[in-house]
Amino acid sequence: MSSKLFFRVSLPVLVMALAGLFPKKGSAQTIRPSTQKEIKIYDPNSSGTGNISLRAAAGTASYTLTFPGAMPALNQVLGVSSSSGGVGTLTWTTVSLSAVSTFSGGTTGLTPATATSGAVTLGGTLVVANGGTGVTNSTGSGSVVLSNSPVLVTPMVSSLTVASGGTTITAGGLTVTAGGANVAGNITVNPTGGVAGQLRLRNPANTFQTIIQAGAQTADITYILPTIAPTAGQFLSSSDANGNLSWTSGSAGWGLSGNAITASTAALGVAPTGGSWLGTTNSQSLVFGTNNVTRVIIASDGSVTSNGNITAPAFFETSDQRLKNIVKRDGDVVYFKWKDGRDSKIHIGYLAQEVQQKMPDQIKADEKGMLSVNYIEILVAKIRELEKRIHELEKNTTYENK
């Protein structure tokens, strides 16, 4: 494109312009048209369809612009370098083409206090007024990275909204005041130093908190909460193997589950060392009740008391010879004390090993081979034997009296 400029004006205007271009020495020429005039600079096209018009604004005060005395460099712009007495001096000025053209920090701790390009470092507190501050570039796709415990100054609304892409918070965490946080996506709490991350819910008085923390699991676990609110007395239970939870009424009862205690740790009279068990860890009795009434009490010494009937196919009592210190014998009846010292009383009974030889069905062995005796059935047999003897004696007595 040619760099020549073409002017197309009428003859009277040309005469007036030429008169203005050659003023008398030491004087200035003034053209005062009856209507507002303009200077049009047309493009080099012969048709002259495009032009640039220069005209004075109506009613403005007079002023003079002094143009630079040299050609501009690439990307320079005209700027006013000085202005005095209605005379402005124009100069060519170089500006940065980056997103930030000028940043003035004043006393907010910015380094440098005024920047036309490059990075700006905040050493103090930056207060954001209504309207906020927009961030156009970030270190990740659609995210803003904050570090070293950033403190958010509440802008026009007291809340934080995170759109898709998320926000990454490093050491120090994130504190959001009134208004809460709205997150479009997932919230991930990562572990720190081998310790699982925690979701902490503060109580209304902000004095205590409820902590939710993941365990040392080997696979992802998903819990899906119920879609409706619970009623009084209900509790959360698993609906299926997919993590769906539902509200269950208390009338469904309760249960105890877990690994059974092995034989080596379930001996009577000693504390279990593994597995699952139901009991107390102090001297308090274990109480069972129904219909809000106490029914069975297991005392701390193992004694069982019930205010109802106890029904079972059979009742066996510990009677192994290896557990007894025999004080004296009276036929097949022995007087003994327990070797484990569970009490200091002298008890009366049979030796299970001797009963086993005559009545093996009335003997039961536990997982360690210790024998118990079904005393009720043995005593029934003994009573029946006595009844037969009494009957024979009565017959003989009746016969002799005849």
Q: What is the pLDDT of residues 255-285, one digit of tens each?
A: 544 444 444 455 666 666 655 567 777 788 8
**3-state SS assignment for residue 161:** strand
Mean pLDDT of 183-199: 82
Sheet containing 64-66, strands listed edge to edge, beginning at the edge strand earlier in sequence: 64-66, 87-94, 76-84
In a domain, 356, yes or no: yes
Boundaries of domain holding 371: 317-384
pLDDT at 401: 64
For the chain, give the mean pLDDT: 73
In a domain, 368, yes or no: yes
Domain boundary, last residue among 264, 292, 310: 310
Q: How confident is the model at residue 30 (pLDDT cuts 50, 70, 90)?
A: low
Q: Let me know whether 321 and 373 are in one domain.
A: yes
pLDDT at 351: 95
The residue assigned the tokens 């327990």 is: 338
Q: Let me know whether 300 and 323 are in one domain.
A: no
Q: How confident is the model at residue 323 (pLDDT cuts 50, 70, 90)?
A: very high
Domain boundary, last residue among 310, 331, 364: 310
Q: Reply yes or no on whether the pLDDT at 322 is more than 90.
A: yes
Give residue-wise pLDDT tens across range 146-160: 434 444 443 334 456
Least-confidence region, from 144-158, 189-203, 238-252, 297-311: 144-158
Per-residue CA distances from 15 to 18, 105, 209, 235 (Å): 5, 55, 91, 101
Q: Reply yes or no on whether the pLDDT at 135 is more than 90.
A: no
pLDDT at 10: 46
Q: Let me know whether 286 and 336 are in one domain.
A: no
In a domain, 289, yes or no: yes
Q: Let me know whether 306 and 321 are in one domain.
A: no
pLDDT at 321: 94
Q: Reply yes or no on whether the pLDDT at 76 is more than 60.
A: yes
Greater confidence, 387 or 9?
387
Q: Let me know whether 295 and 324 are in one domain.
A: no
Greater confidence, 358 or 14?
358
**3-state SS assignment for residue 341:** coil
Q: Reply yes or no on whether the pLDDT at 177 is more than 80.
A: no
Residue type, 264: S
- Report which of 341, 345, 346, 365 is spatially closest to residue 355, judged by C-alpha positions: 365
Q: How many domains does the chain have?
A: 3
Q: What are phi and psi of 393, to 5 degrees?
A: -65, -40
Q: Reply yes or no on whether the pLDDT at 332 is more than 50.
A: yes
Task: Report how far residue 283's alpha carbon sits from residue 298's, in angstroms, rounded to the nearest whole number.
Answer: 11
In a domain, 260, yes or no: no
pLDDT at 282: 75
Mean pLDDT of 70-94: 85
Q: Reply yes or no on whether the pLDDT at 11 is more than 50.
A: no
Q: What are phi and psi of 184, to 5 degrees?
A: -95, 85
In a domain, 292, yes or no: yes
In a domain, 391, yes or no: no
In a domain, 401, yes or no: no
Least-confidence region, from 129-133, 217-221, 327-331: 129-133
Q: How confident is the model at residue 125 (pLDDT cuts 50, 70, 90)?
A: low
Q: Reply yes or no on whether the pLDDT at 374 is more than 90.
A: yes
Q: Which own/partner contact pairs does 142-147 have at CB distance under 8 Å and 24+ positions apart?
A: 142/166, 143/167, 143/168, 144/168, 145/170, 146/170, 146/174, 147/171, 147/172
Task: Report how far residue 380's alpha carbon sits from residue 387's, in angstroms, rounded to the nearest whole number.
Answer: 10
In a domain, 392, yes or no: no
Domain boundary, last residue among 310, 326, 359: 310
